[in-house]
Amino acid sequence: MSKNKSGGVQSPLSFFDYGLYLFTFLCPIFFLFNWDLNMMQGLFFVFGVFFLLGLSFFSKRQINYFNKYLGLIVIWSMAMVFIHTFKFSLTQGYTASFLNFCLLSEGFIYVLCGCLLFYLIVSFKKNFNIVYPLIAINLLNFIFAISQAMGYKWIWIKNMSQVSGLMGIAPHLIIFSAVSLPILFNYKPILSIMPVTNIILGHIYWGNSFSGIFAFLSGITLFFCLKKQYKKMFVWILILITLIFVKWDVFILKALTRIDLYIAVLNEIKQNVLLGQGFDNSMSMNMINIGKGWMYRHNDYFNIARDLGIPFLIFIVLGLRNVLKKVNIDYLWLAIIILMICSFTWTSIYFARLGSIGIVLLALKEREKYELC
């Protein structure tokens, strides 16, 4: 048992808390030798959520929670599976239509599990502390990133030429570290050495990935603005402007690439604004070919609108607004904002290793409202 902030003794962890610690620790870094990293983490996410659902039957519900936006998200995404399957079947045979239905259902399962994970955490979380799994993950990333930078590639990762820790690719190492940084700094400033080192190594050995760094600087500037700590805000604005000035050529190159990419994605969205194109049902791994090779769309919000239509994106935005309104502007809030900003410029939450931690952070922030009552 541990003491709470008021000096009292906290009740022991529930079965659900233990499972949530295991899930939060493993989902961003889970891998099996010679298996595709993204596929394995996606499968672990789904079955990990089902495992937490099972543990919830052994745990006492902490609050009765209702959220209409979760219902809208699940119902809309489920309806799109059948609507897009029907549209596809009008021009294709039975076998192709069934395969299309399976691919669409896979996307729906991820949405369902994401909503279920959020609901379970808000309803059953007892004494879970996000700091501990973040320390463990950042420590492992720190160790492996340093070893990879030194040339010791003694563990299988998807792209062994990258310094990526256990995050698969360097940009995701940078983004995860940027999201973790404010939480670890708030807990013990010395712990920020790990995510800062990971960000530096990931950037040096990747070269031009600024999404995580830019999101962190933008997020912390907004954080101090809302806190009305304007001197600190202007310091971070100056740092942000300096970074843009020093790396101006890189920013221009990135912007030009993104413009062509986003125009192509917007054209996809325009083809069916209401219903979208359906979940990844073309075996393109959620990528698009714009004449320069296959690329990720690098904007999760465009991705959402492309897959399930503008109404679904509106449900997502309203759900985020519902979670983040009238809450404490603290370091947990800042971590969420950093990930949300990253999602504007990089494919982030579509990967289980980042999507899972984003859902956990949002659920913890939602639960705060009930703990403060």
Cβ atoms of 41 and 353 within 8 Å: the answer is yes
What distance in Å separates the CA atoms of residue 363 and residue 74, rounded to the nearest whole number? 17
**What's the pLDDT tens digit per position in 225-250?**
988 999 999 999 999 899 888 877 77
| Angle between helix 352-371 and 300-324 (nearest 10) | 10
What DSSP state is assigned to residue 299?
-
**What's the pLDDT tens digit per position in 158-197?**
444 578 888 888 889 999 999 999 999 999 999 999 999 9
What distance in Å separates the CA atoms of residue 352 and residue 333, rounded to the nearest whole number? 20
Cβ atoms of 141 and 106 within 8 Å: the answer is no
Query: What average pLDDT is seen over the chain?
Result: 86
Q: Is residue 9 part of a domain?
A: no
Q: Is residue 3 part of a domain?
A: no
Q: What sign results for the dihedral spanned by CA atoms 192, 193, 196, 202?
A: negative
Q: Is residue 4 part of a domain?
A: no
Percent of the chain at pLDDT exceeding 70: 89
Q: What is the structure's pLDDT at 288? A: 77
Choice between 155 and 3, residue whose per-residue pLDDT is larger: 155
Q: Is 249 exposed, middle or buried (0-12, 13-18, 19+ CB in 10 A)?
A: exposed
Q: Is residue 6 part of a domain?
A: no
Number of compact structural domains in the chain: 1
Q: Quick one: CA torsion of 181, 131, 360, 207, rounded to 10 degrees?
A: 30
What distance in Å separates the CA atoms of residue 60 and residue 174, rounded to the nearest whole number? 37
Q: Is 241 exposed, middle or buried (0-12, 13-18, 19+ CB in 10 A)?
A: exposed
**What's the pLDDT tens digit per position in 268-315?**
899 999 998 888 655 556 677 777 667 778 889 999 999 999 999 999
**What's the pLDDT tens digit per position in 74-115?**
999 999 999 988 888 877 777 778 888 888 888 899 999 999
Cβ atoms of 27 and 91 within 8 Å: the answer is no
Helix (H) or strand (E) holding 296: strand 294-296
Range name among 21-25, 151-155, 203-207 with the lowest pLDDT average? 151-155
Q: Which residues are within 8 A (CB) of 131 and not within 5 positions of it... i.e. 6 or more apart?
A: 183, 184, 187
Residue 127: give the domain boundaries. Answer: 15-371
Confidence at 5, pLDDT banded by 50, 70, 90: very low
Q: What is the structure's pLDDT at 6? A: 43
Confidence at 364, pLDDT banded by 50, 70, 90: very high
Q: Is residue 316 part of a domain?
A: yes
Q: Is residue 90 part of a domain?
A: yes
Q: Is residue 260 part of a domain?
A: yes
Q: Quick one: CA torsion of 130, 234, 347, 267, rounded to 10 degrees?
A: 140
Q: Is residue 2 part of a domain?
A: no
**What's the pLDDT tens digit per position in 13-31?**
889 999 999 999 999 988 7
Q: What sign results for the dihedral spanned by CA atoms 113, 351, 36, 81?
A: positive
Q: What is the structure's pLDDT at 68? A: 94
Range name among 66-80, 139-153, 289-303 with the lowest pLDDT average? 289-303
Q: Which residues are within 8 A (CB) of 233 and not within 5 positions of it... i.e. 6 or more apart?
A: 221, 224, 225
On the question of pLDDT at 47 being above 70, the answer is: yes
The model's pTM: 0.90
**What's the pLDDT tens digit per position in 118-132?**
999 999 999 999 999
Q: What is the structure's pLDDT at 170? A: 85
Q: What is the structure's pLDDT at 52? A: 97
Q: What is the structure's pLDDT at 160? A: 47
